Each structure stands twice: as structure tokens, then as C-alpha cells.
């Protein structure tokens, strides 16, 4: 008790100190702003990619080994007074020492040759570990981290990622991604925490705090500023393809897409990146209602709003809502953009924005607002005092301790979807055939944003880690493992091309094996190169699965994929199915440990796995989508028929739920309801269990209620025979929904709570 009070006092003292530093920094920003010319201010609002100032090549590439072109650097930083740089050069990871050298030189130019000595803020896509640093610890991608349902693991991952990003002299990470991964076709679903707004919000909160620290004290040289992205509604375009138009009602935007962002903003996230897409016909980068009214005014976001890559130019080049660059700049800045991730051609942005201010088409007040936000982040990050952090101060970079954290994260993410007749775990000395295009690839384990944008350079940088095959050879003994790919990916830059690679031999070899471990899925991709026109798993992989199944051997299907590719053409013939998502550099080891029972699987699906491409649902669908009735003339059966439901995941032990209880059968406005349930490990081995609590609003008068919604989760660890009581709290606000008039309300009436097979009702009274 005393300890807890001391801890609370300490946290309070920490937040008071941070608040004081913040007020100080605000005063510094005001003083600096008064000294700055319009040109300097506009320069602060511009962000370029590293290749622009790299020696050799052109703006789109640089000579290797990389070095800075002093003339180009001076032009950008001194003449144009550019305030921010992002990305790596030549789309390639660099060592911490190289990063230190590059960024020291950039900061030196900015802080010795410009009138007000303003440091540059350097940003990078550290999305599952520091993407562009050689040797950095690579965690599962967010979709796998979501499957852990473990807040502490997600926070720890972001803490390590922040440490290693600062070890690379970089203070700003373009992460977490809090878009709702509600469409399995979208090529970035794996970058999200899945389809549920509550889960995305809870884990997004942990990630922001992991990056920025409990009090968002990013002056701490082990913390970075986060960038919550992509505000708002990015992942659900009508076509399922990247950067194509979405149609989202304001009601749905607020009900499903907004809550995770609100949670991250309330958690103090320093920066936000904008959705590259188009909602209801309006590019989000041009949308004053979303960027200023909603984000800055209603949600009170005080941080910096950065565009996504080239999105101001997109307003005239792609979306044609502006006739030229100047009009695009005016629209975007007036909509509420603070910094433009221009990437390449920065001169027109700066020149046009200066002219627009002089012509009175953009007010100085708007410019001051933007620059204030940018400078505040720079002061908060302590960049004026310590513009570059030095790798020598980061001895834990790539340490065993960090690797173990990444391994544990992978081990808790892997999800056992099916296990007929206890096909798993495998017993020692089983003769195994390992096959499939994902069996021997570090690239597919990591996915994109790993050492390069699309992940195509992973093999070059990750050779020392174990592929699934290598991990299985170590675990089972090489003499017990035969490997024949059967199907392989083409490595010539075509993301989805495959070829039969000893397919016949693989089928023949199955006959001599006790078990086939069939590793199927996708090669790495992100953004538009990952666009897909058929959600079924490829024909060749399907053929391999069916041919192997015809041998009658026991098949363990291991999925290694960024989105749920449809497997219903052969799923019934698989004895076990294990989803690895994109588990990172330690995914092979974690999987092998699970297949042989050294680790008990505990991941749960963070999305609904579809059974057919034309039957895409979210678990929180409307009742009309799962109605099953044969009454009347027509059969209105709506066929809610996922392959595996949201939250599904098996264990090698069994958990029995009992005794669901409420503190009261009536919840009154302003009061809190306590829900408790007993969970017993009724099997023979220890196991971790994610306890998920859903509520259903039985009748809602203003809008058809969702079938159910996740309102709480907790992950517990139970020994055989052990029972734990898990409790959750519920208030009226947790049960609210957004009305067609865009108000959050909770209607009086009956609700059901569901935790596993336990159900209980209560009544909400106003
Ligand atoms: C992506 C962002 C990313 C940015 C910077 C864009 O293409 O959409 O998620 O942060 O590039 O690399």
C-alpha cells in the first residue's frame, strides 16, 4: 500500500515536472517565433527525404557508400531553411554509426549556418523495430502484436523500438498505425492492430506511451516522438486498394475510426500523420472539417500534423481538386496541415507558400500556428540542447535482452486456429517434411518496412536469424527434417509471382514423412504494390495444399501472411492450422517452440478470417448480417460465415469459465458495474489465456445495434488446476453509441455481457 502510494506520488511528481518543462518550452517557442522571418517559418513546414541531399545519383537516389552533398545540404537547410528530413537513402538500412554521422552533419549545418540555429527533426518508419537500422531488434508487425492481447508486451516493444531509434540518432518514429484494419483486402491490414476499435485504441495507447514515456517526456534520450497515423479512415476504401476512395458516413467515422485516435491524442501523442486517401469524395489532406474542426478544435490536438508522402502534390496531380501546386499548397495548409512530407521537390512548396502569405491567401496566423507546433516538438525533444544522440550511449542496442522481448512477443502472437485430434504438439523424433514458399524465408517472416520499404532486402540483413525451416531443423534435429519448397516466390520485384519449385518432389516426399509442415502465405508488400485482386490464396499454393492432402498425410498448415488469404478450398483437409502473421526475426524460433509444445500458444485472431472473398464481415456486424430465419415467404439467412471468428485461438490446455457475476443487475447513470468471471485451467499444461468481454445492446432505437462489441480484455497465466477471477468495470460511457446526429449516447434498456460461454444480462437505467 505504502509502496503503491509512493509510486503514485512519483508519477505525479513526474507529470508535474513534465508540465513545467512544457510551459517553459511554450515560452521558448514564442520567443523564437518572434525572431523568425517568413522564409524561415515556411522552411520549418517542409520535410524532404534523405536522397535529396545525398551525393551522386539524382534526387531519387544517391551514390554508395552514402555521403551528404554539402552543396545540396546547404541549399536545402541554409537557403530554404528546411526544418525536417525523413527516410533512409537508396531504400536501404544503415548502421547506427552511419546514422550518427549523417545526422550529426545535418544538425551541424542547421545549427551553425542558419540565423536562428534551429535543429532539424529527423523522422523514420520505425514500425516494428527500427526499420532502417542494421541489427535493430525486429518485433512482430502490429497485427501479430494485436494477437497477443497483451498490453505490457506491446508497450515493451515500443520502448525498445524507441531506444534503438535514438541509438540511430533519430528522435521521431512514424508509428503507431491506428487505422482500423477492418478490410482484409487492404494491403496494409497487417500494419494495424486489427478490426476492433477498442483493441486498436488500447494497444495504440500502450505504443504511444512506450515510444514517448508515461509522461510523454521525450526530452529523455531513450524516448522518441510518435506519429499516430493515418488520420482518419485510411484502411477501408471501397475497392480495398491503397489510396483509393472510401465512403464512410460521419456516424461510422466517429463510431469506429475515431476512438483509437482520440485515445492516442488524450495519451499525449506528439504528432499525427494524415490519411493519403479520399473520403466521400474529398481528399483528407484538403479536408478542413477533419483536420482543423475535428482534430485540432474538437479533439484539442496540440501537436504537429504532418502530411503523408507527397500528398500536397497529390491534390493536383492525382485528385485534381487543385489546378497547380500553389493551389494545392493553399488548400492543404488552410485545411490544417502543419508540415508537408514533400519528399523530393521542395522548392515549389516553399516558394508558393511564401507567395500565398504575401498575397493574403494563407494568413500569417495559420503559419504561426503550424510553426509553433513544429518548434514545440523540437523543444520537447530537447533537440536544441542535444540535436544528435550517440550510439555509444546505447549499449543495449540489439542486446540479448531485447531479442528475448521480441521472441516473447512473437511467441504470444502466434495463433492456433485449428488442432484436430490434438495433431499438435508434435512429438520428438517425428519425421517432418517442411514445404511451401514461406518455409525458408526471413523476408516473409518480417514483411515490409524491414531494412527496406517493401522488405525485399531482408535476406541480406537477417541471415543470422532462423527461418521456419532452420528453427525446425534445430528443434527436431536436421536428420528428422526434409525440405522441398514445392512453390517459391519470384524474386524479381514482382510481389505476387510464384512458380512451382519441385512441386512433384514435395508430394512424393510427403509419403515418407510422418507429418507435413506446409508453410503458405504471402511474400512481403505494403501500400500500392500490395494491392490485390483476389483474396483467395494463390492457385499454385492451393494446388500444393490439395496435392499434399491427397497423400493422406497429417498436414500442419502454417500461415505466414499479412492479411487473411482465403483458404476454404482446402482448409477442411488440414489437421492443424497455425497463424504466424508477420512475426519478425524470431518468428521461426517461436513457431518451432510452439509446434513441439515448448511454448503453449496463446494468440487470438485480431480480425475476422473470411471463408469466401465475397463474404467479408467484421465481428461487430449488424444483426441483419447474421440473421437466420426461414419464416415467411423468403429465407433471409444472411450467411455470417467466417472461417474463424474474431478472438478465436486455441491452446494446448483447456480453460473453463464459470460463475459470471455482476455487482448489480442494474447500472445507473454515473455508476460503475463490476463484472467478474472465474477462469480455470482444466487441462494438463500451463497456459496463457486472453479473457475477452463483449457487450450487446439488445435494442437501440436510433440505429441498429452491433451484434456485440469488445469492451474489455485481460491476459492471464494459469497453471494446471489453477483458477483466477478476472474482473472488468463498465460505465454507461463504455456502452454508448454514436447516433445519426453524431452524439454519443447510452439508451436505457437491456444489455448482455458475454465472456467466453458465460452470459449475463443487466439493465441500464437513466
Ligand atoms: C506511408 C506512411 C509512411 C510514409 C513515410 C508513406 O508512403 O503511407 O505510412 O510513414 O510513407 O515513409
- β 340-343/46-49 pair status: parallel
Indicate the DSSP class of residue 247: -
Overall average pLDDT of the 345-349 stretch = 98
Let me know whether 668 and 603 are in one domain: no
Q: Structurally, how many domains does the chain consist of? A: 3
Q: Say whether pLDDT at 149 is over 90.
A: yes
Query: Residue 432 belongs to what domain range?
Result: 414-616
> How far, in Å, from the CA of 167 to the mean position of ligand 1?
22
Boundary (domain end) residue, out of 616, 641, 668: 616
User: Which cell is 6 given?
Assistant: 509512493
Checking if the pLDDT of 757 tops 50, the result is: yes
What is Dmax (Cα atoms) for the chain? 81
Tell me what pLDDT residue 21 has.
85
> What whole-number distance in Å separates Cα of residue 306 and Cα of residue 272?
6
Ligand 1 closest atom vs CA 127 = 10
Q: Are residues 374 and 460 in the same domain?
A: no
Q: How far is the CA of 139 from the centre of ligand 1 (A)?
A: 19
* 597, 694: one domain: no
Does residue 405 lie in a domain region?
Answer: no
Closest-lying ligand 1 atom to the alpha carbon of residue 177 = 9
- Residue 229 Cα to ligand 1 middle (Å): 9
Among residues 180, 610, 168, the alpha carbon closest in space to that of 397 is found at 168
Best probe residue, ligand 1, of 273, 275, 307, 313 (max atoms within 8 Å of C-beta): 273
CA angle at residue 133 from 131 to 139, to 5 degrees?
Answer: 45
Mean pLDDT on 46-70: 96
- What gap in Å lies between CA 514 and CA 562, rounded to an integer? 29
Catalytic residue among 51, 308, 319, 352: 308
Confirm if 680 and 718 have CB atoms less than 8 A apart: yes
Name residues whose C-beta falls within 8 Å of residue 5's C-beta, 6 or more positions apart in sequence: none
90 and 183 belong to one structural domain: yes
Residues at CB less than 6 angstroms from ligand 1: 87, 125, 174, 229, 276, 308-309, 527
Task: Annotate 59-93 with three-state secondary structure.
Answer: CCCCCCCCCECHHHHHHHHHHCCCCEEECCCCCCC
Please say if the pLDDT value at position 290 is more than 70. Answer: yes
Indicate whether this model's pTM tops 0.75: yes
Rounded mean pLDDT of 746-764? 98
- Ligand 1 atom closest to the Cα of residue 230 is 9
Residue nearest to atom 2 of ligand 1 (CA): 308
- Residue 649 is predicted with a pLDDT of 98
Residues 688, 609 share a domain: no
**Does one domain contain both 453 and 552?**
yes
Higher pLDDT, 222 or 18: 222
Residues 197 and 336 occupy one common structural domain: yes
Angle among Cα 638, 695, 688 to the nearest 5 degrees reads 100
CA nearest ligand 1 atom 11, residue: 309
Does 472 fall in a domain?
yes
Left (φ > 0), alpha (ψ -120 to 50) or beta: where does 555 sit? Answer: beta
Give the CA angle between residues 9, 11, 14 to the nearest 5°. 110
Element (H, E) at 558: strand 554-560
- Tell me the per-residue pLDDT of 170-218, one tens digit each, with 9 for 90 and over: 999 999 999 999 999 999 999 999 999 999 999 999 999 999 999 999 9
Q: Whose CA is nearest to atom 8 of ligand 1?
A: 308
Structure confidence by residue, pLDDT tens digits, 3-14: 555 656 666 677
Q: What is the mean pLDDT of residues 586-604?
A: 98
pLDDT at 627: 67
Report the distance separating Cα 150 and Cα 475, nearest Å: 27
Q: What is the DSSP string of 579-609?
A: E--S--TTHHHHHHHHHTTSS------SS-B
Q: How far is the CA of 199 from the centre of ligand 1 (A)?
A: 23
Whether 432 is covered by a domain: the verdict is: yes
Is residue 401 in a domain?
no
Q: Report the distance separating Cα 667 and Cα 92, nearest Å.
A: 56
Residue 632 in this model has a pLDDT that exceeds 60? no
User: Which pLDDT score, from 0 to 100, does residue 635 have?
Assistant: 56
Task: Judge contact between 503 and 435, C-beta under 8 A.
Answer: no
User: How far from 141 is each of 10, 177, 348, CA to CA, in Å?
Assistant: 33, 11, 36
Q: What is the mean pLDDT of the chain?
A: 96
Q: Looking at the structure, do residues 257 and 348 belong to the same domain, yes or no?
A: yes
CATH of the domain at 710: 2.60.40.10
Is 441 among the domain residues?
A: yes
Q: How far is the CA of 60 from the centre of ligand 1 (A)?
A: 16
* Rounded Cα–Cα distance for residues 703 and 254 (Å): 14
**Measuring CA to CA, which residue among 90, 219, 111 is closest to residue 162?**
219
Is 360 found in the same domain as 422?
Answer: no
pLDDT at 109 over 70: yes
pLDDT of amino acid 496: 77
Is residue 264 classed as helix, strand or coil in its secondary structure?
helix
Mean pLDDT of 154-162: 98
pLDDT at 494: 64
**Nearest protein Cα to ligand 1, atom 7:** 309
Specify the pLDDT at position 15: 75
Cell numbers representing residue 553 in the block? 498425410
pLDDT above 70 as % of the chain: 96
**Does position 497 have pLDDT exceeding 70, yes or no?**
yes
Tell me the mean pLDDT in the region 507-513: 97
- Cα–Cα distance for residue pair 755/712, rounded to 1 Å: 10
pLDDT over 80 (residue 16): no
To the nearest 10°, report the CA torsion of 367, 371, 373, 375: -170
Q: DSSP string of 502-555?
A: SHHHHHHHHTT-SEEEEEEE-----SGGG--S--BPPHHHHHHHHHHHHTT-EE
Q: What pLDDT shows up at residue 22?
A: 83
* pLDDT at 1 exceeding the cut of 50: no
Tell whether 629 is covered by a domain: no
Angle CA 32–37–40, to nearest 5: 85
> Given ligand 1 and candidates 47, 125, 277, which is best to mutate, with the most ligand atoms within 8 Å of its CB?
125
Based on the domain organization, do 338 and 475 belong to the same domain? no
Q: What per-residue confidence (pLDDT) applies to 626? A: 79
Distance in Å, CA 309 to ligand 1 centroid = 6
Residue 550 C-alpha cell reads as 491427397
The answer to whether residue 493 scores a pLDDT higher than 80 is no
Q: Do residues 381 and 419 both lie within one domain?
A: no
Residue 534 known to be catalytic: no
Element (H, E) at 764: strand 758-765
Residue 387 lies in a domain: yes
Amino acid at each position: 500500500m505504502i509502496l503503491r502510494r509512493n509510486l503514485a506520488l512519483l508519477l505525479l511528481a513526474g507529470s508535474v515536472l513534465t508540465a513545467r518543462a512544457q510551459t517553459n518550452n511554450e515560452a521558448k517557442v514564442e520567443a523564437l517565433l518572434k525572431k523568425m522571418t517568413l522564409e524561415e517559418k515556411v522552411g520549418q513546414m517542409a520535410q524532404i527525404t534523405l536522397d535529396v541531399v545525398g551525393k551522386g545519383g539524382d534526387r531519387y537516389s544517391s551514390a554508395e557508400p552514402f555521403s551528404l552533398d554539402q552543396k545540396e545540404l546547404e541549399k536545402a537547410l541554409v537557403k530554404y531553411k528546411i526544418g525536417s528530413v525523413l527516410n533512409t537513402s537508396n531504400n536501404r538500412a544503415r548502421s547506427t554509426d552511419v546514422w550518427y554521422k549523417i545526422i550529426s552533419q545535418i544538425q551541424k549545418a542547421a545549427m551553425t549556418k542558419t540565423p536562428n540555429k534551429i535543429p532539424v527533426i529527423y523522422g523514420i518508419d520505425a514500425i516494428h523495430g527500427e526499420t532502417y537500422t542494421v541489427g535493430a531488434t525486429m518485433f512482430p508487425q502490429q497485427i501479430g502484436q494485436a494477437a497477443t492481447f497483451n498490453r505490457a508486451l506491446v508497450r515493451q516493444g515500443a520502448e525498445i523500438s524507441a531506444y534503438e531509434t535514438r541509438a540511430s540518432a533519430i528522435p521521431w518514429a512514424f508509428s503507431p498505425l491506428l487505422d482500423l484494419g477492418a478490410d482484409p483486402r487492404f494491403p496494409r491490414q497487417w500494419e494495424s492492430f486489427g478490426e476492433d476499435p477498442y483493441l486498436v485504441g488500447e494497444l495504440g495507447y500502450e505504443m504511444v506511451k512506450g515510444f514517448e514515456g508515461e509522461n510523454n517526456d521525450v526530452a529523455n534520450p531513450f524516448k522518441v516522438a510518435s506519429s499516430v497515423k493515418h488520420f482518419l479512415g485510411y484502411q477501408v476504401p471501397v475497392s480495398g486498394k491503397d489510396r483509393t476512395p472510401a465512403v464512410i458516413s460521419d456516424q461510422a467515422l466517429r463510431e469506429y475510426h475515431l476512438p483509437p485516435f482520440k485515445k492516442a491524442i488524450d495519451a499525449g501523442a506528439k504528432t499525427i500523420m494524415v490519411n493519403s486517401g479520399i473520403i466521400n469524395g474529398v481528399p483528407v489532406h484538403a479536408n478542413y472539417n477533419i483536420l482543423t474542426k475535428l482534430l485540432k478544435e474538437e479533439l484539442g490536438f496540440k501537436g504537429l500534423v504532418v502530411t503523408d508522402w507527397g500528398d500536397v502534390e497529390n491534390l493536383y496531380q492525382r485528385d485534381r481538386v487543385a489546378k497547380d501546386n500553389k493551389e494545392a499548397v493553399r488548400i492543404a495548409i488552410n485545411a490544417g496541415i502543419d508540415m508537408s512530407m514533400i519528399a523530393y521537390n521542395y522548392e515549389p512548396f516553399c516558394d508558393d507558400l511564401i507567395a500565398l502569405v504575401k498575397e493574403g491567401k494563407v494568413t500569417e496566423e495559420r503559419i504561426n500556428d503550424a510553426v509553433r507546433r513544429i518548434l514545440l516538438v523540437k523543444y520537447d525533444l530537447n533537440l536544441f540542447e542535444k540535436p544528435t544522440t550517440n550510439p555509444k550511449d546505447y549499449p543495449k542496442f540489439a542486446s540479448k535482452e531485447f531479442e528475448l522481448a521480441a521472441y516473447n512477443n512473437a511467441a504470444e502472437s502466434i495463433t492456433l486456429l485449428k488442432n484436430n485430434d490434438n495433431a499438435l504438439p508434435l512429438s520428438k523424433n517425428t519425421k517432418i517434411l517442411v514445404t511451401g514458399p514461406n518455409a525458408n524465408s526471413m523476408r516473409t517472416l518480417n514483411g515490409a518496412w524491414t531494412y527496406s520499404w517493401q522488405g525485399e532486402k531482408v535476406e541480406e540483413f537477417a541471415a543470422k536469424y532462423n527461418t521456419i525451416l532452420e528453427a525446425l531443423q534445430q528443434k527436431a534435429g536436421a536428420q528428422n527434417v526434409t525440405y522441398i519448397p514445392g512453390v517459391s516466390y519470384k524474386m524479381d520485384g514482382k510481389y505476387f509471382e510464384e512458380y512451382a519449385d519441385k512441386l512433384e518432389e514435395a508430394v512424393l516426399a510427403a509419403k515418407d514423412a510422418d507429418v507435413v509442415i506446409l508453410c503458405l502465405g504471402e511474400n512481403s508488400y505494403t501500400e500500392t504494390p500490395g494491392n490485390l485482386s483476389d483474396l483467395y490464396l494463390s492457385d499454385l499454393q492451393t494446388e500444393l495444399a490439395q496435392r499434399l492432402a491427397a497423400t493422406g498425410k497429417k498436414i500442419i498448415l502454417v500461415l505466414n501472411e499479412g492479411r487473411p488469404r482465403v483458404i476454404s478450398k482446402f482448409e477442411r483437409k488440414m489437421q492443424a492450422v497455425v497463424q504466424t502473421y508477420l512475426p519478425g526475426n524470431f518468428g521461426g524460433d517461436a513457431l518451432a517452440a510452439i509446434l513441439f509444445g515448448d511454448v503453449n500458444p496463446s494468440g487470438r485472431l485480431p480480425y475476422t478470417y473470411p471463408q469466401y472473398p465475397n463474404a467479408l464481415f467484421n465481428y461487430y456486424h449488424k444483426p441483419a448480417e447474421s440473421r437466420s430465419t426461414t419464416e415467411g415467404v423468403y429465407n433471409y439467412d444472411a450467411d455470417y460465415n467466417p472461417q474463424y471468428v474474431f478472438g478465436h485461438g486455441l491452446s494446448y490446455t483447456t480453460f473453463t469459465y464459470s460463475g459470471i457475476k455482476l455487482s448489480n443487475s442494474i447500472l445507473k447513470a454515473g455508476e460503475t458495474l463490476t463484472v467478474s468471471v472465474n477462469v480455470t485451467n482444466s487441462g494438463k499444461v500451463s497456459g496463457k489465456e486472453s479473457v475477452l468481454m463483449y457487450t450487446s445492446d439488445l435494442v437501440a432505437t436510433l440505429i441498429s445495434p452491433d451484434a456485440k462489441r469488445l469492451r474489455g480484455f485481460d491476459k492471464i497465466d494459469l497453471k494446471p488446476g489453477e483458477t483466477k477471477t478476472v474482473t472488468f468495470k463498465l460505465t454507461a460511457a463504455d456502452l454508448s453509441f454514436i447516433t445519426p446526429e453524431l452524439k454519443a449516447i447510452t439508451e436505457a434498456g437491456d444489455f448482455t455481457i458475454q465472456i467466453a460461454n458465460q452470459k449475463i444480462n443487466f439493465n441500464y437505467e437513466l
